[in-house]
Amino acid sequence: MLSQVFLLYLESLLITALLVGSFLGLWIGLRAVRRVDKTIKDRQAHLYDMLLIAVMTIPILSFAMMGILLIFRA
């Protein structure tokens, strides 16, 4: 039982990491195309902000995704 919950959490963690990573990559790409950040320091600060947002939101969203996967599997 515990191993099933752990595998479900790992699956939701992987799905969430892929979703958040693709969303943030798209966002960073759109900012680069529109040339919002003029200096290298601005671009680097935005990249660090996005990485921090990803690190903080992936574990939280993975629990929500685990609930959704649990509902689908029930």
pTM for the structure as a whole: 0.84
Contact by Cβ (8 Å): 16, 58: yes
pLDDT at 74 over 90: no
The reported pLDDT for the residue numbered 66 is 93
Task: Summarize pLDDT for 24-68 with one digit per residue, the tens.
Answer: 999 999 998 999 988 999 999 999 999 999 999 999 999 999 999
What's the average model confidence in pLDDT over 2-25? Answer: 94
Dihedral (CA of 5, 55, 68, 72) sign: negative
CA-wise closest residue to 16 among 73, 74, 68, 72 = 68
The reported pLDDT for the residue numbered 34 is 93
HSE-up of 7 (CA within 13 Å, CB side)? 4
